[in-house]
Amino acid sequence: MENKLSAEDIDRIVEMGWEDRTPFDAITFQFGISEQETIEIMRTEMKPSSFKMWRKRVQGRKTKHQALRGKVNGRFKCDRQRAISNNKVSKR
């Protein structure tokens, strides 16, 4: 990895990597690292059993691979996300 990442950046990468709906492309866009570099960071920052569970879960998963699910208006967002004006959840 050629660019130096801060501890905060690494924490955020692990958090984004763990989230099922955050594609690797979003991590690449934000931090300038490849999918393989993200996997290496996850490997070093997680317990071995957690890493194995994560890899099994994300391998080939549409939500983690932008090419498998397609882009939505050039943004990284969940296809089920509603516009704020169409939000049906009442605010209390």
Q: Is residue 38 part of a domain?
A: yes
Q: Is residue 63 part of a domain?
A: yes
Q: Is residue 89 part of a domain?
A: no
Q: Is residue 80 part of a domain?
A: no
Q: Is residue 75 part of a domain?
A: no
How would you write the pLDDT of the chain (92 residues) with one tens digit per residue?
446 899 999 999 999 999 888 888 899 999 999 999 999 999 999 999 999 999 988 887 766 765 555 555 555 555 554 544 444 554 44
Q: Is residue 91 part of a domain?
A: no
pTM: 0.66
Q: Is residue 84 part of a domain?
A: no
Number of domains the chain is built from? 1
Residue 42 in tokens: 């996850």
The CA distance from 19 to 4, in Å, is: 23
Instruction: Supply the pLDDT for residue 57.
Output: 87
Q: Is residue 18 part of a domain?
A: yes
What residues does 75 pair with on adjacent strands? 72
Domain containing 23 equals: 7-70
